[in-house]
Amino acid sequence: MRIPKNIKITNNVKTVLDILNDEIKGDVKAALKKMKAGYTMTWVYQGKNDRLFPKTSVDIKNELAVVYPIKGREYDIKNIAEGQEVVMVEMIESYPDPKTKKVYRTPLVVVLEIDKGKIKKGRHYCDPRLSYMYLTKKQVSKLFS
């Protein structure tokens, strides 16, 4: 994971960075320890079948078991903002297509609400159309030039 040197690492930011690292490593058990009971993630877009704002189910452990095994995932953190009990991360998520090995790169922002050192809920903001494109590093870098 690439993190700008100017990011202040508070306890809440550390929790968020640690859970992102758990995802990179595929460590569901470690990630669950950083989440409150009842944790939810909502994607702020229109999903499959025109469903607005798809959300995790109550069986988060099994959902993570499907998502976390992706090998080669990377996060390029661009900015982190923190408020009272909330951390917002702007980043580029990259991972290879298991069949073609071409890399998906998705610019996104996650907003994570924290309660007593654990993540209680999150919102994931991105354009899902970009998520299905094989954007190059050069294309994505234009966002930050």
| Token pair recorded at residue 16 | 């968020």
CB 86, CB 112: distance < 8 Å: yes
All structural domains of the chain, each given as residue ranges with its CATH number in brackets, are: 11-144 (3.10.450.50)
Q: What pLDDT shows up at residue 48? A: 77
pTM listed for this prediction: 0.89
Terminal-residue alpha carbon distance, the chain: 20
Return the closest-CA partner of residue 124 out of 112, 141, 140, 133.
Answer: 112
H helix or E strand, kind and range, residue 29: helix 28-32
Q: What pLDDT shows up at residue 79? A: 95
Q: What pLDDT shows up at residue 77? A: 96
Q: What pLDDT shows up at residue 49? A: 80
Return the closest-CA partner of residue 11 out of 19, 23, 3, 2.
Answer: 19
Q: What pLDDT shows up at residue 104? A: 93
For the chain of 145 residues, list the mean pLDDT of each consecutive stretch of 10: 87 96 91 92 84 79 74 93 96 91 94 96 93 91 90
Cα gap 73→1, rounded to integer Å = 9
Q: What pLDDT shows up at residue 24? A: 92
H helix or E strand, kind and range, residue 24: helix 11-25
Q: What pLDDT shows up at residue 11? A: 95
Q: Which strands, in side-by-side order, build the sheet including 86-96?
A: 35-43, 118-125, 103-115, 86-96, 74-83
